[in-house]
């Protein structure tokens, strides 16, 4: 089958490559000519493990190409995926839908046959119905809107696209074609037995934001417990292990630490609260304000812990920050807790040397005034404290004995509870961590 994917960022580029991998003829469309040129040349404008291989395999096979030309894309297919960004509005909790609207306004008048637009972006509930109305006014042919929220995780995006946990499809009440078209596109996945849930538009939209709200709540729950652990010198990691054995709770997403960030969870829970308010259901989601505030408190708590680790003041302290991406296996620094903390440390008078295996370029664009190093050892040179703020495997596996000669003081602050504290302690380091006693 033929399809297009509008927006070729983290979601769209992966989806376009994934659909081509399933055997379809795919055109990826973006308004950023630089991004399109890179992708067309087999290069990825961001870091995502495994994506380069799938991209190149399908470019070579002739199943995948990229363009900025909407006429070309409108002509290419009758199923168009929409995967543009829906960032937080400036100065407001709501989602900024201008890119989504731009796709509809530019694409729909160009459609010369009946078509289906399948949204994948995360949007406030009610958006798809509003887009159906918007499209109806612009269309000269029948245009159906469907919503197929995306659950991929950066760092595992290729796997999640080709082996999703479930596929959710919201369709219009009077839909006649969307379900059949999407079933055909995803046939190889459905044949693997991936659950396929067909809903109305608003339920599909709500599934995605509810999933993110739940995950954010689980992280903030353990971080709230972590605050109590800190007050009594209890160990939040052992506590989480003990909780996790209960299958009703589960261990995943119970890692206490610096909290969540990135381009999705923070803006999605805020947009969810804003939308609930507009719908007159604001009380239903007031707990998410607390989830958000517990999460943001972790960043300040990390700065306090670093200050303590440096002997009570950050003035003149030389700090190595290991990790800048919001999570490992990604170069995404949108609302990254690690970079946020690095910035706050600098504001408090520390000299900060940041190292990240993949996110240096993006970090430099966002925080140009921090110092950046090209290796762990360079960042740790004469450091008064080493902060591990993203749990890259390279950091988890560091040899504390080897690093000891590089630093000025053998002090490590584990912002992700990812280090083997006993091993570091045995190598002569003082180990500070969120939610655990200092050893
Ligand atoms: N990144 C993820 O892990 C992830 C996971 C699930 C859902 N989502 C959702 O997917 C959506 C996209 O997220 P992302 O992380 O890929 O964002 P992104 O910023 O990486 O990519 C968005 C892309 O859309 C392009 N774009 C903007 N306006 C356009 C237009 N009018 N026509 C064509 N292209 C246009 C931009 O140039 C950019 O390349 C968001 O709603 C996000 O919440 C993202």
- Compute the distance between CA of residue 127 and CA of residue 204 in angstroms, rounded to an integer: 11
The answer to whether the CB of 419 falls within 8 A of the CB of 387 is no
- Compute the distance between CA of residue 345 and CA of residue 349 in angstroms, rounded to an integer: 7
User: Which atom in ligand 1 lies closest to the alpha carbon of residue 84?
Assistant: 24
Task: Report the 10 Å Cβ neighbour count for 244.
Answer: 15
What is the Å distance from ligand 1's center to 180 Cα? 26
- Compute the distance between CA of residue 167 and CA of residue 196 in angstroms, rounded to an integer: 5
What is the Å distance from ligand 1's center to 97 Cα? 11
pLDDT tens for each residue of 24-62: 999 999 999 999 999 999 999 999 999 999 999 999 999
Check pocket membership of 84 for ligand 1, CB cut-off 6 A.
yes
What is the Å distance from ligand 1's center to 23 Cα? 23
**Which phi and psi angles does 116 have, rounded to 5°?**
-125, 130
Q: Which residues of the chain have pLDDT under 50?
A: none
Q: Please choose from 5, 30, 39, 85 the residue to mutate so as to test ligand 1's pocket, defined by most ligand atoms within 8 A of CB.
A: 85
Question: What is the model's pLDDT at position 105?
Answer: 98
The SS3 of residue 367 is coil
Check pocket membership of 85 for ligand 1, CB cut-off 6 A.
yes
Question: What is the model's pLDDT at position 176?
Answer: 87
Cα 302 → chain centroid = 21
Element holding 386 (H helix, E strand): strand 385-388
pLDDT tens for each residue of 300-320: 999 999 999 999 999 999 999
Check pocket membership of 419 for ligand 1, CB cut-off 6 A.
no
Q: Residue by residue, what is the 3-state secondary structure of 188-220?
A: HHHHCCCCEEEEEHHHHHHHHHHHHHHHHHHHH
The SS3 of residue 117 is strand
What is the Å distance from ligand 1's center to 333 Cα? 15
Question: What is the model's pLDDT at position 201?
Answer: 98
Which residues participate in catalysis according to the annotation?
Answer: 264
Question: What is the model's pLDDT at position 64?
Answer: 98
Alpha carbon distances (Å) from 275 to 82, 216, 406:
21, 17, 51
């Amino acid at each position: 089958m033929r399809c297009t994917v509008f927006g070729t960022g983290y979601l769209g580029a992966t989806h376009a490559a994934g659909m081509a991998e399933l055997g379809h003829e795919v055109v990826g469309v973006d308004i950023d000519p630089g991004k399109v040129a890179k992708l067309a040349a087999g290069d990825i404008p961001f870091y995502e493990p495994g994506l380069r291989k799938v991209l190149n395999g399908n470019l070579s096979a002739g199943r995948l190409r990229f363009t900025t030309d909407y006429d070309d894309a409108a002509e290419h297919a009758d199923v168009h995926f929409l995967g543009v960004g829906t960032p937080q509005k400036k100065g407001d909790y709501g989602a900024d839908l201008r890119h989504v609207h731009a796709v509809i306004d530019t694409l729909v008048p160009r459609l010369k046959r009946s078509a289906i637009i399948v949204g994948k972006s995360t949007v406030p509930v009610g958006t798809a119905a509003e887009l159906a109305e918007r499209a109806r006014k612009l269309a000269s042919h029948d245009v159906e809107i469907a919503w197929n929220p995306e659950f991929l995780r950066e760092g595992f995006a290729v796997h999640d696209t080709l082996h999703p946990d479930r596929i959710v499809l919201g369709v219009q009440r009077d839909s006649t074609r969307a379900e059949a078209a999407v079933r055909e596109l995803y046939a190889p996945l459905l044949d693997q037995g991936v659950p396929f849930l067909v809903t109305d538009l608003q339920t599909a939209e709500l599934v995605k934001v509810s999933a993110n709200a739940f995950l954010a709540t689980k992280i903030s729950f353990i971080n709230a417990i972590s605050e109590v652990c800190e007050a009594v010198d209890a160990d939040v990691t052992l506590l989480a292990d003990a909780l996790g054995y209960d299958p009703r709770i589960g261990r995943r997403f119970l890692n206490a630490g610096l909290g969540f960030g990135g381009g999705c969870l923070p803006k999605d829970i805020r947009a969810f609260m804003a939308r609930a308010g507009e719908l007159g259901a604001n009380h239903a989601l007031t707990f998410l304000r607390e989830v958000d505030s517990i999460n943001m408190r972790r960043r300040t708590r990390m700065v306090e812990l670093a200050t303590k680790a440096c002997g009570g003041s950050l003035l003149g302290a030389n700090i190595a920050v290991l990790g800048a991406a919001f999570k490992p296996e990604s170069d995404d620094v949108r609302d990254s807790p690690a970079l946020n903390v690095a910035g706050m440390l600098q504001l408090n008078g520390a000299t900060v040397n940041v190292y990240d295996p993949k996110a240096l370029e993006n970090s430099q664009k966002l925080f140009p005034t921090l110092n950046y190093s090209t290796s762990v050892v360079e960042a740790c040179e004469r450091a008064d404290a080493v902060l591990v703020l993203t749990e890259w495997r390279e950091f988890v596996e560091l040899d504390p004995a080897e690093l000891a000669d590089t630093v000025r003081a053998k002090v490590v602050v584990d912002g992700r509870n990812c280090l083997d504290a006993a091993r570091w302690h045995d190598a002569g380091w003082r180990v500070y961590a969120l939610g655990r006693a200092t050893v």
